[in-house]
């Protein structure tokens, strides 16, 4: 708590070097772009480095104007003696701490840091080359309405029922939507209106596709945070987490949540592989494919009535 309070702008930190060791999930990294910007705006003379792990973090922070250096993770943390301060949030405080279950994730990171984050928008942009590539990729499926589909959360408590994922995919394809699956959840059939992105594309290519599709269906995962950031009309299925804490800053994300009376333990915010009630996660079984399809149609009709087309 308050680990970065000395960088609230009340002291001159010019010439000092701060290295932030970030937790590496896609959504987590996007949230932390808000913290990086807040720190650098309060301390313009500060030299700021970011370190993380996994395949995504360098691509997300690659063009960030508030980061001075991307540092490869080292097994021995003693190398960080060249930095004025090394600060790690590897315990993922917005998830494991009690306060992380009562406030939006970006606010929780600011609470952990001891610095109010005034701008909660993410500092991430698709480049013109990436946008051109995505539009060329998607043009082959036009004039169909293109739906990006990302339902594999970081834990089972965030993932929708796999059977309903398959049923909704078929329902969309048979109703002449073109479906692009973002993750590697197995689909044991093929269709002319079904494309798979799993495994062959990096996070920047994925984000460019999300920015360019017509609609997104997702759970509480990285694709939802990209969709919200790009203001894409999105249907988000929440199982173990709450939209008030995850998507309340996204005006175009339409949340579907379990019935609280039927599942009084929701939201549990479990971050383990599964909830205490075992697999399949009970609240993940609540919504059926037809419910989500009708929600997408509702969102689509709302777009049309507002004079917005994709």
**pLDDT (tens digit per residue) in 154-165:** 777 888 988 999
Range with lowest mean pLDDT among 24-33, 93-102, 193-202, 287-296: 93-102
Is residue 89 a contact partner of residue 15, using CB atoms and an 8 Å limit?
no
pLDDT of residue 77: 60
pLDDT of residue 307: 78
Mean pLDDT of all residues belonging to the chain: 90
Q: How far is CA 142 from CA 193, 300, 308, in A?
A: 11, 17, 18
Q: Residue 195: pLDDT above 60? A: yes
Mean pLDDT in residue range 238-265? 92
pLDDT of residue 282: 87
Q: How many other CB atoms are found less than 10 A from the CB of residue 116? A: 10
Q: Residue 286: pLDDT above 60? A: yes
Mean pLDDT in residue range 85-89? 88
pLDDT of residue 76: 62
Which residue from 35, 95, 100, 79 is spatially nearest to 61, judged by alpha carbons? 35
Tell me the whole-structure pTM to 2 decimals.
Answer: 0.93
Rounded distance between C-alpha atoms, residue 151 and residue 220, angstroms? 8
pLDDT of residue 94: 64
Range with lowest mean pLDDT among 53-57, 87-91, 210-214, 269-273: 269-273
Q: How many other CB atoms are found less than 10 A from the CB of residue 14? A: 10
Range with lowest mean pLDDT among 60-64, 142-146, 238-242: 238-242
Q: Residue 241: pLDDT above 90? A: no
Q: Which domains, and CATH codes, for the chain?
A: 14-113 (3.40.50), 131-305 (3.40.50.2000)
Helix intervals (H) in 239-288:
243-246
Give percent of the chain above pLDDT 70: 94
């Amino acid at each position: 708590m308050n680990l970065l309070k000395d960088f609230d702008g009340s002291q001159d930190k010019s010439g000092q070097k701060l290295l932030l060791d970030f937790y590496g999930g896609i959504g987590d990294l996007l949230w932390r772009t808000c913290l990086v910007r807040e720190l650098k705006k309060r301390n313009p003379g500060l030299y700021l480095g970011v370190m993380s792990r996994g395949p995504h973090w360098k691509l997300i922070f690659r063009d960030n104007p508030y980061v001075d250096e991307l540092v490869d993770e080292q097994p021995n943390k003693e190398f960080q003696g060249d930095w004025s301060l090394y600060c790690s949030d590897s315990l993922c405080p917005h998830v494991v701490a009690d306060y992380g279950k009562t406030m939006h994730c970006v606010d929780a990171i600011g609470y952990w840091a001891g610095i109010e984050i005034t701008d909660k928008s993410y500092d991430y942009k698709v480049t013109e080359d990436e946008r051109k590539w995505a539009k060329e990729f998607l043009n082959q499926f036009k004039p169909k309405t293109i739906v990006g589909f990302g339902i594999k959360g970081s834990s089972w408590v965030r993932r929708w029922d796999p059977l309903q994922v398959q049923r909704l995919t078929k329902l969309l394809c048979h109703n002449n939507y073109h479906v692009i699956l973002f993750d590697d959840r197995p689909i044991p059939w093929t269709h002319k209106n079904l494309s798979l992105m799993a495994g062959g594309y990096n996070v920047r290519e994925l984000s460019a596709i999300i920015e360019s599709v017509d609609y997104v269906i997702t759970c509480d995962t990285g694709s939802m945070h990209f969709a919200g950031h790009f203001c894409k009309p999105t249907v988000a299925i929440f199982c173990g987490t709450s939209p008030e804490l995850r998507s309340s800053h996204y005006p175009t994300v339409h949340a579907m949540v379990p019935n609280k009376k039927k599942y009084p333990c929701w939201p549990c915010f479990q971050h383990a592989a599964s909830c205490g009630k075992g697999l399949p996660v009970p609240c993940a079984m609540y919504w059926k494919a037809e419910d989500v399809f009708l929600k997408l149609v509702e969102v689509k009709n709302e777009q049309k009535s507002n004079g917005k087309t994709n």
